[in-house]
Chain A
Amino acid sequence: MPAMLLEAICAAKSPPWMPPNGAIHGIGLDQLMRWNLLAVSICFLVAHIWLIGALLRRRSHDQTGTPSAFRWTLFAALCAMYLCMAITAQHLWASSRYAGAAPSAMQVEVVGEQFQWYFRYPGADAAFGATRPDLVNAAEGNPLGLNFHDTRSRDDIVSSVLVLPVGHEVDLRLRSIDVIHGFFIPGMRLKENAVPGLVLHVHFTPTTPGTYPILCSQVCGLGHARMQAVLSVVSAAEFDAWLASRGRPEQQTQ
Chain B
Amino acid sequence: MKVLTTNHRNLGALYLLLSLAAVTIGTLLSLAMRIHRVWPSLPFPFHGQIKPEDYLALVTMHGTLMIFFVLTVAPQLGFASLVLPEQIGARSMAFPRLNASAFWLSAFALVLLLAAFFVQQGAPISGWTAYPPMSAVAASGPGEGAGMDIWLASIGVFCIASWLGAVNMLATILGERGAGMTWSRLPMTVWAWLVTSILTLLVFAVLLAAVILLFSDRHFGSSFFVPAGDLVNGTVVGRGDGSPLLWLHLFWFFGHPEVYIAVLPGMGLATSLFANFANRPVMGYRAMAAMLVAIGFLGLVVWGHHMFVSGMNPYAGTAFALTTMAIAVPSTVEVLGWLSMLTRPGPGGLRFPTPMLFALGFLSFFIAGGLTGPILAQPVLDSYLHNTFFVVAHFHLIMAMAGVFSLFAGVYYWYPLLTGRLMNETVGKLHFWISLIGAYGAFLPMHFSGLAGEPRHYERLAGPVATFSAIAANERGITFSAMLLAAAQLLFLWNIFDSARRGRLAGPNPWSATTLEWAPEGAVGRIERQPYEYEIPLNETKFHPQWESASKQE
CB atoms of A37 and B375 under 8 A apart: yes
Task: Kindly state the separation between the CA atoms of A188 and B451 in the bound complex, as whole angstroms.
Answer: 13
A133 at the interface (CB under 8 A from B): yes
CB atoms of B453 and A184 under 8 A apart: yes
CB atoms of B384 and A196 under 8 A apart: no
CB atoms of A180 and B134 under 8 A apart: yes
Task: Kindly state the separation between the CA atoms of A182 and B226 in the bound complex, as whole angstroms.
Answer: 17
Segment among A70-78, A146-154, A164-172, A243-251 that sits at the interface with chain B: A70-78
A127 at the interface (CB under 8 A from B): no
A27 at the interface (CB under 8 A from B): no
A193 at the interface (CB under 8 A from B): yes
Which of B309, B322, B347 is the one whose CB lies under 8 Å from A86? B322
Task: Kindly state the separation between the CA atoms of A52 and B386 in the bound complex, as whole angstroms.
Answer: 33
The verdict on A50 contacting B343 (CB below 8 Å), with A86-B378, A186-B384 known, is yes
A79 at the interface (CB under 8 A from B): yes
CB atoms of A179 and B325 under 8 A apart: no
Task: Kindly state the separation between the CA atoms of A44 and B375 in the bound complex, as whole angstroms.
Answer: 13
Which residues from 205 to 239 on chain B have a C-beta closer than 8 Å to any C-beta of chain A? Answer: 226-233, 236, 238
Q: Give the interface size bracket for A toward B.
A: 35 or more
Which residues from 200 to 225 on chain A have a C-beta closer than 8 Å to any C-beta of chain B? Answer: 200, 213-225
Residues of A within 8 A of B388 (CB): 217
- Name the residue on A nearest B322 (C-beta): A86
- Name the residue on B nearest A182 (C-beta): B387
The verdict on A196 contacting B227 (CB below 8 Å), with A33-B381, A86-B322, A226-B464 known, is yes
Residues of A within 8 A of B314 (CB): 93-94, 97-98
CB atoms of B126 and A228 under 8 A apart: no
The verdict on A18 contacting B463 (CB below 8 Å), with A98-B314, A191-B383 known, is no
CB atoms of A197 and B470 under 8 A apart: no
Least CB distance from A169 to B in Å reads 17
B420 at the interface (CB under 8 A from A): no
CB atoms of A47 and B335 under 8 A apart: yes
CB atoms of A182 and B309 under 8 A apart: yes
Task: Kindly state the separation between the CA atoms of A94 and B318 in the bound complex, as whole angstroms.
Answer: 8
CB atoms of B452 and A17 under 8 A apart: yes
Which residues from 112 to 138 on chain A have a C-beta closer than 8 Å to any C-beta of chain B? Answer: 114, 132-134, 136
CB atoms of A89 and B309 under 8 A apart: no
Which residues of A line the B interface, CB within 8 A?
1-2, 5-6, 8-9, 15-19, 29, 32-33, 36-37, 40, 43-44, 47-48, 50-51, 53-55, 57-60, 63, 67, 71, 74-75, 78-79, 81-83, 85-86, 89-90, 92-94, 96-98, 114, 132-134, 136, 145, 177-180, 182, 184, 186, 189-193, 195-198, 200, 213-226, 228-230
Task: Pick 21 A–B contacts, CB within 8 A, sort by A.
Answer: A1-B469, A2-B470, A16-B448, A19-B452, A44-B371, A50-B343, A59-B345, A59-B350, A60-B346, A63-B537, A74-B336, A75-B333, A82-B325, A93-B379, A134-B231, A178-B230, A186-B466, A197-B228, A200-B311, A217-B455, A219-B131
Q: Which 6 A-B pairs have the closest CB atoms?
A: A197-B227, A59-B349, A89-B378, A186-B453, A213-B466, A17-B451
